[in-house]
Amino acid sequence: QVQLVESGGGLVQPGGSLRLSCAASGVIFRFANMGWYRQAPGKQREWVATIKGVDNSNYADSVKDRFTISRDNAKSTGYLQMNALRPEDTAVYYCTLYYGGADFWGQGTQVTVSS
C-alpha cells in the first residue's frame, strides 16, 4: 500500500532554515503529483506548495520566495526547503500525493520557529 513518511522537522530560530523530506513507497513516484500542507494549532490545514512533474511548482503567497518544493524521482522522495522561517510558520507539516485518482497523506512532522 501507499506510505508517506515525513522527516526533517524540528525547532529553529526565526530566520533559520529547515529541509523537510517525504519518502514514498507503494507508488510509481514519477507519476504522482506531490504537495505540502501545514496545520497550526487552532487553525485549519492550509496548502503550502505543489509540484507536478519535475519542476511545475506553485506556492501559497505566504511562503513564496522563501520555500522551495522539489522531488527526486529516483529516490521516490520529495522535499520542502524552508528558508527565512518565521514564527507564523510554526505548524505540523504534511506531505501529500495525488496518485491513481486518490489522495494520500503522511503522518506529519512538527516545525517550530521560536527564539
The answer on pLDDT for 53 being more than 90 is no
Report pLDDT for 54: 79
**pLDDT, tens only, 9-48:** 999 999 999 999 999 999 999 999 999 999 999 999 999 9
- Tens digits of per-residue pLDDT, 95-111? 999 988 899 999 999 99
66-75: average pLDDT: 96
Q: What's the mean per-residue pLDDT of the chain?
A: 96
**What DSSP designation does 84 have?**
S
The grid coordinates listed for 40 are 497550526
Q: What percent of the chain has pLDDT over 90?
A: 90
- The rounded percent of the chain whose pLDDT value lies above 70 is 100
| pLDDT of 67 above 90 | yes
